Amino acid sequence: MIFACFLKSVGQIGDPRFRKVLFLGVGLTLALLIVVYAALLWLLQVAVGDSTTLPFIGEVTWVGDLLTGASLILMLVLSVFLMVPVASAITSMFLDEVAHAVEDVHYPDLPPAASVPFGEALRDTVNFLGVIVGANTLALILYAIFTPLAPLIFFALNGYLLGMEYFQLAAMRRVGRANAKAMRRKHRGTIWLAGTLMALPLSVPVVNLLIPILGAATFTHIYHAIQARSRVPSG
């Protein structure tokens, strides 16, 4: 079921609405990373100034340049780990458009879904962004301690986060927040497995930027597949 849902999403990757959300998500993510880096440079300038005095050496003026270079390297390293998770969080704000595109093509007989208000979508995005950035930042410690297991930790962590969040967002359009949470708990294993499969291409440059869109579309299909199963009479 998971692979079938994923293949349906891949088949729709050329949809103009998919491309629109992709460009919005990547563009806003790059803008956010630039703002964060600019804020970091400002803090370094305030803390260090144009020069500083070191014991036994005296006044030096290259500390600011050194810290600026180090901060750039740090941001580049962090962006490798955080670019796609952050893009995933920001893309979640535009999930409605992806879900509408999926349902228009594959589920045309469904009644219109209740659109998530922008303010509520923004709040969910900020919450998800905080969780996913915080979790991936803390995971850097685990990567250092358990280096051989770093890929497994990365895929399992992001698979769990992406799966739970995207399924929640896809389901709540149809059944509301409370029922979506109940479905998420009931089908936790399937959702985590699907999320982990979504996380596997995260290490592939360029392809990884498509994962938020494919993930949103795939979990829209998964939600409908689970609903269809629950309506099939047993026995």
Cβ count within 10 A of residue 33? 18
Radius of gyration of the chain (CA): 21
Contact residues for 188 (Cβ-Cβ < 8 A; gap 6+): 164
User: What's this model's pTM, rounded to 2 decimal places?
Assistant: 0.72
What residue ranges in the chain does DSSP mark as E strands?
Answer: 52-54, 58-60
Evaluate whether 215 touches 198 at the Cβ level (below 8 Å). Answer: yes
- Distance between CA atoms of residues 28 and 129, nearest Å: 13
Domain ranges across the chain: 2-27+81-231
pLDDT by position in tens, the chain (length 235): 888 998 898 888 888 888 888 787 777 777 777 777 777 667 766 666 555 555 555 555 545 555 555 655 666 565 555 665 666 666 667 777 888 899 999 998 888 887 777 677 777 777 877 787 788 788 888 888 888 888 888 888 888 888 888 898 888 888 888 898 899 999 999 999 998 888 887 767 667 777 778 888 899 999 999 988 876 443 3
